[in-house]
Structure 1
């Protein structure tokens, strides 16, 4: 558009034109022998395109873990069935599957076992043999029908801790065996999700080297909160405009408040009262 052709010659009418301008020079994108992306780089669509553009078709990455969820209990029924006296709808597997998918995990297996030691051992061993991350729900306390800890011992799992000074989720269990990480989560659904967000996400972040763990903020509390010392409380809460308020229905079996929560408000173990307008720590939910 800025060229004039005359007598088989072309003249460029552009005073700003410079020699070599708009010419792709060898090595402009990357020099020979240079490292395209440093170790630990989080791959994204542009990363994939960049590597393809320079002829790299294979790279070493941290794979997403294969996860098995084991639901323990005699009391559950499918949500597709009419309610039966003495039974409850099983929701933990659905909630955990959704949370895992939100964290980028796609390979998720679900097993069910009764409150029986042999059943629990069989399910756990199958999960350990075929998974990197095993999540059990229920059966992790110290009751007559709680067999997760004993089953883990029989499966050779090295226990790192059992029972945490927190609410909800006090019976939480964590162990490792071979290439598998094992979490024994409590049975109540709010406890399951709280422990998933506070502990399992940390494990997924470590295994995948992706920053999926919860972000924290310090904000002002609307209202006040009191509790006994001795346990850290994770409260279902709403965070809006740099203010947070605890929701009602904090019981560990109740999910309605969790469904509308966007953060967990942390009341530390030694704290007995948090006054209104105090600055508190919250963990933002995904």
Structure 2
């Protein structure tokens, strides 16, 4: 198969100065590599300078560059420095107005602010150029629209007539099949996203299957974050100087820099915690001083012990005379008052709600602050569940979800204040959920959210007046994941299979609890790193899949090895799981992931590298 070369250009003054702030460009690279086999993606970051953008476009559209498609992100708005469309128009031979219009219509269905985009699509030689907006969300939406059009467009540009004819034939066949009777069509295809009416005779879920990112956005937009502490930290001014006195940086001798080198009489010893000596002394005198101790009022330098020589001791063994071997310099090895933190300055330059950070910094200025943590309950449902301390009973299984979810909460710094195990009984579930919110803000429940006749969670939530915002998610494992809310109380219904509950907790419940605690948006989610897959021929599922994997670091590169059988009931797959590897959904052109593929992966633990080679 011929290699397809794409180029992604991020246009942003900010990202050009700091590449770590570029979210849209790397996201586009990821989307291209996930959706196109045998493709190579070039990546550039340019400032909002029309001439530089035009020059780069000309360079990439030259025949020898062999770039089939260029996608720019950013610089398409109304701001004075938004000049990407102008640079594009200066390079293209033909405009593609229908493609531009289609993208605009698609974007307008997502947000009315898409009307403020001036994106251009066009052709330069044999290269297709597409302008996407600058936000990561808009990039994903635009790419989702064009990804199925791109192969045919590139075949046309390269005059690959056989492939063009094949596509046309497929279109004709699809058009003919659309004239079949509804019954015949239904027999040939069942849509995995199909939703039903929700009545007793309906075999399909009434809830639409939402993408993971959309699900997370719905959850975070619903939850009211804790705003008091972030504002308090933002406004807090230090009541003290650190250090509050001039402090010695080294163990050595405090003296006057005007006294030059040579022999000095040792007047005494100054230890950390002593008061400042205000008595004046001569240039040929000094004080022995410890690290962190207050420098005498009339001393202006400290000479480290390594640059001195002991000449004489007193009868009691204390030092009497030392030789200074170097020329002293003013302020040498002295921390000035307030050099670490000045009185009246902002204590938290950025809001960071890590308990270690908040409590440590507040303690350093003599204050304490209570950290708000949401109160969380863990519920497991299932008449088949046994307490881990019970004897085995035929037809029963041990409840691992309660233990797992409680331990995960503790691992990430949150407390589980209530745990309950319920049978598959409507009344019991109803009564428990009616009363439990008197004690907690969040309920994380596993089981009872699928389509079985004993799955009572969703009916109970509806009866209690909860708003069910999420009923299914387009992911594997975790499709039945449920989220509901009522009066600033929140419910997560995780699937009962242990691995499904494990994955959904990390992807949805943890970010939600962090958000409610006041964490910044960027810090709520698990960190995502790029990993190289080591397993050959991993079959892709129709849904995006999150596989557990072990990480090995080789010369600074991260390699992921899938942890065996990934069946959602097999809890053993979390053994050695450092990350969740994000596998894309299967497409007509990509049915497998292969060794060497670079994929995003969510980091599950702080010590997430198992092996170094």
Which of 191, 213, 235 aligns to 2:525? It is: 213
User: Residue 20 of structure 1: CA displacement?
Assistant: 11
User: Residue 139 of structure 1: CA displacement?
Assistant: 0.5
User: Residue 129 of structure 1: CA displacement?
Assistant: 2.3
Matched, 1:232 2:551: no
8 A contact 1:214–1:284 mirrored in 2: yes
8 A contact 1:97–1:108 mirrored in 2: no
Deviation string, structure 1 residues 213-256 (Cα, Å, up to 9, x no partner): 32111221112211342x11111222212211222221111111
**Structure 1 runs not aligned, ≥5 long:** none
Residues 22 and 79 of structure 1, relative CA distance in 2, 3 Å threshold: closer
Matched, 1:97 2:358: no
User: Residue 128 of structure 1: CA displacement?
Assistant: 2.1
8 A contact 1:65–1:107 mirrored in 2: no
Deviation string, structure 1 residues 25-61 (Cα, Å, up to 9, x no partner): 4x65655543322572335556545434534x35464
The whole-number CA distance in structure 1 between the counterparts of 2:355 and 2:442 is 24
- 1:283 is aligned to 602
Name whichever structure is richer in helix by fraction. Answer: 2
Name whichever structure is richer in strand by fraction. Answer: 1
Residues 80 and 46 of structure 1, relative CA distance in 2, 3 Å threshold: closer
**Structure 2 runs not aligned, ≥5 long:** 1-252, 256-263, 268-279, 285-323, 606-613
Q: For 1:156, what is the secondary structure of its paired residue?
A: coil
Q: For 1:277, what is the secondary structure of its paired residue?
A: coil
The whole-number CA distance in structure 1 between the counterparts of 2:334 and 2:350 is 32
Matched, 1:16 2:328: yes
8 A contact 1:4–1:12 mirrored in 2: no
Residues 52 and 276 of structure 1, relative CA distance in 2, 3 Å threshold: closer
User: Residue 69 of structure 1: CA displacement?
Assistant: 0.9
Q: For 2:391, what is the secondary structure of its paired residue?
A: coil
The whole-number CA distance in structure 2 between the counterparts of 1:145 and 1:282 is 35
The whole-number CA distance in structure 1 between the counterparts of 2:333 and 2:389 is 68
Residues 267 and 41 of structure 1, relative CA distance in 2, 3 Å threshold: closer
8 A contact 1:162–1:172 mirrored in 2: yes
Deviation string, structure 1 residues 81-128 (Cα, Å, up to 9, x no partner): 221100000110000011000010124310122111111111112222
- 1:255 is aligned to 571
The whole-number CA distance in structure 1 between the counterparts of 2:528 and 2:441 is 27
Matched, 1:41 2:352: yes
Higher relative contact order (CA 8 A, sep 6+): 1
Q: For 1:130, what is the secondary structure of its paired residue?
A: coil
- 1:243 is aligned to 559
Q: For 2:346, what is the secondary structure of its paired residue?
A: coil
User: Residue 74 of structure 1: CA displacement?
Assistant: 0.5
Residues 52 and 227 of structure 1, relative CA distance in 2, 3 Å threshold: closer
Larger radius of gyration between Structure 1 and Structure 2: 2
The whole-number CA distance in structure 2 between the counterparts of 1:161 and 1:224 is 33
8 A contact 1:40–1:209 mirrored in 2: no
Deviation string, structure 1 residues 185-223 (Cα, Å, up to 9, x no partner): 011111110111111111122122343532111221112
8 A contact 2:406–2:416 mirrored in 1: no
8 A contact 2:409–2:416 mirrored in 1: no
CA RMSD of aligned residues (A): 2.7
- 1:189 is aligned to 498
With the length of structure 2 as denominator, give the TM-score of the two structures.
0.42
8 A contact 1:112–1:123 mirrored in 2: no
- With 142-151 and 110-119 compared, the bigger mean Cα shift is at 110-119
Residues 43 and 147 of structure 1, relative CA distance in 2, 3 Å threshold: closer
8 A contact 1:73–1:138 mirrored in 2: yes
Residues 43 and 274 of structure 1, relative CA distance in 2, 3 Å threshold: closer
8 A contact 2:481–2:492 mirrored in 1: yes
Residues 244 and 122 of structure 1, relative CA distance in 2, 3 Å threshold: same
Q: For 2:565, what is the secondary structure of its paired residue?
A: coil
Residues 217 and 47 of structure 1, relative CA distance in 2, 3 Å threshold: closer
Matched, 1:268 2:587: no
8 A contact 1:70–1:123 mirrored in 2: no
8 A contact 2:447–2:496 mirrored in 1: yes
Deviation string, structure 1 residues 149-180 (Cα, Å, up to 9, x no partner): 01111222111110111111111001111222
Residues 18 and 124 of structure 1, relative CA distance in 2, 3 Å threshold: same
The whole-number CA distance in structure 2 between the counterparts of 1:80 and 1:4 is 74
The whole-number CA distance in structure 1 between the counterparts of 2:424 and 2:332 is 76
Which of 177, 191, 198 aligns to 2:507? It is: 198
Q: For 1:4, what is the secondary structure of its paired residue?
A: strand
8 A contact 1:70–1:124 mirrored in 2: no
The whole-number CA distance in structure 2 between the counterparts of 1:171 and 1:122 is 23
